[in-house]
Amino acid sequence: MEKFKDYPTIFITVKGIGFIFLLDTSSKYNLCTPCFADFFHEDSLTSTETEPKGRAIESPFSAFGDVFQKQEGIKDIKCKNGIKAGCSSAKIQFEHDGKTYRDLFYIDPSLCAYCKPKNKIAAILGISFLKKHKFVIDFGRLGITKKD
């Protein structure tokens, strides 16, 4: 997370697995990295295998179906790199500070650079999320607080 040391971020969990989301008021939409989306929705990982006795064994990744729903269609949005592109989307459910949120994220191919180990940013929460949930960015502690 070296690159974003002085940027506001929050720690979130999805079914007990922790991730870092960057808070960005310059982004209208929530954006996620392709590798974050692939972690929850990879066709090869959601298949079932069969035990020797004929019972189906579900892959552990199929357990994410209730927290990650890929949406149909493509929407042209302004990506993080400033270029308009057609992006697929997914509704992602996550927890932060004991509260559950479910929001739409666009899978932004320009965020592939954030998938590197030193960056470790899984997604960007844009201004739409902050407004919807009445959060303000606290630049003193580089996090979010509820608007009163």
Between 41 and 106, the more confident residue is: 106
Domain covering 2-42+65-146, topology: Cathepsin D, subunit A; domain 1 (2.40.70)
Residues facing residue 19 across a β-bridge? 12
- Any idea where the domains of the chain sit in the sequence? 2-42+65-146
Comparing 14-23, 32-41, 78-87, the range with the smallest average pLDDT is 32-41
Structure tokens at 11: 């720690």
Report the phi/psi class of residue 142: left, alpha or beta, with left for phi > 0 and alpha for psi in -120 to 50: left
pLDDT tens digit string along 134-146?
999 888 888 888 8
Among candidate residues 45, 41, 47, the one with its CA nearest the CA of residue 105: 41
Between 44 and 96, the more confident residue is: 96
Which residue spans within 40-83 are E strands per DSSP? 48-50, 56-58, 68-70, 75-78
Which residue spans within 59-139 are E strands per DSSP? 68-70, 75-78, 84-87, 89-96, 99-107, 123-125, 135-138
Instruction: Give the C-alpha separation, 75 to 131, whole Å.
Output: 21
**Whole-prediction pTM value?**
0.80
Q: According to the model, what pLDDT value does residue 138 have? A: 85
